[in-house]
Amino acid sequence: MASPPGPTHPADAPGLSPAAPHGGGKPPRAKGGNIGLALTLPGQIVSILVLVIPLLVALYMSFTDWSPTRGSLFDAEFVGFENYSELLIWDTRFLYAVLRTLCISAVCLALEFAFGLSLAVLFMRRFRGKSLLFSAFLTPMMILPVVVGYIFWMLFQSSGPVNQILEFVLGPDVALEWFRSAPLAVTAVIITEVWHWTPLFFLILLSGLNSVPENPVRAAVILGANPRQVFWRVVMPTLKPVIIVAFVIRTMEIIKLFDEVFMLTRGGPGSATETISLYIYKLAFNDFQLAYGAAAAFLVLLGALGLIHLLLLPVRNQLLEVKR
């Protein structure tokens, strides 16, 4: 754990403890470090407890067969890795929920990135009404996920606005039953999610584009690169860390995808839109299998950690590098 910097200038140290002999032993800096540690220790202990204890309890729970109908957690039977092996080997519903979540996530993130980047590039130019549009484009991500889910549930109703527009454009009888067909339900979820979170990509990429240094771009232009080459060969590599961080943030969020799906489809039809979170929610609150759900949650946590480390791999050194 990082302790706050102590007095780094050796001359400060005698002021702190005038009686301390200077000859042998620790350099004066260590003294300051200890004081820093001592001062922050209570805070660190509290935050460790707050962070770690619930995690440890949940971890313990995942090794039992506890259920709220069966009294105290500590009376529940310890079952070792049974929950985990069940999940990994037998539970195809879990497997499908994971794969489904990954697929939906991949499609959503690709679309959000593409739209966000296009909008950001558009916003690098001057045009009328830019600042108004800017505020408008950022609004979706400020709406509560539950509300977004609710709004799109309304939009996708059989006689809702989406179908009305489709009928107007494509003629009558094209009304779609969005929540009764698996592909359509997945599409509805993806549309909702992309609408909701494209603004985050847009915002991050726009600030990234704005901080791309000007001179390498000008140098590329002078060396004969056309606008497309400038963008892909000079601007995008500079943006790489920003892009990856945007993906990491969104990945962490989207593998927890819950609210919108819950409001739109409750995972249906069948389990066509059942995401990991939705499955765990059902395990816990429909089937009261809390211990089993906890095990699933830990598997997802491990998977997410691995995934994010993988994502960060190409820019890790660049992000951790200390600039002179």
| Sites of contact with other proteins (CB under 8 A) | 213, 215-216, 218-226, 229, 233-234, 237-238, 240
Q: From 195, 130, 200, select the one nearest 162 (Cα to Cα).
A: 195
Q: How far is the CB of 229 from other proteins (least distance, A)?
A: 5
Residue 183 vs 224, nearer CB to other proteins: 224
Q: Is residue 13 packed enough to be buried (19+ CB in 10 Å), middle (13-18) or exposed (0-12)? A: buried
Q: How far is the CB of 321 from other proteins (least distance, A)?
A: 9
Q: How far is the CB of 311 from other proteins (least distance, A)?
A: 18
**DSSP H or E segment with residue 218:** helix 214-222
Residue 130 vs 240, nearer CB to other proteins: 240
Q: From 45, 46, 41, 18, select the one nearest 31 (Cα to Cα).
A: 18
Q: Which two tokens stand for residue 159?
A: 């006689």
Q: Which residues contact 296 (CB under 8 A, 6 or more apart)?
A: 87, 94, 276, 279, 280, 283
Residue 206 vs 220, nearer CB to other proteins: 220
Residue 216 vs 269, nearer CB to other proteins: 216
Q: Which residues contact 132 (CB under 8 A, 6 or more apart)?
A: none
Q: How far is the CB of 322 from other proteins (least distance, A)?
A: 13
Residue 30 vs 313, nearer CB to other proteins: 313
79 vs 66: CA distance, rounded Å: 10
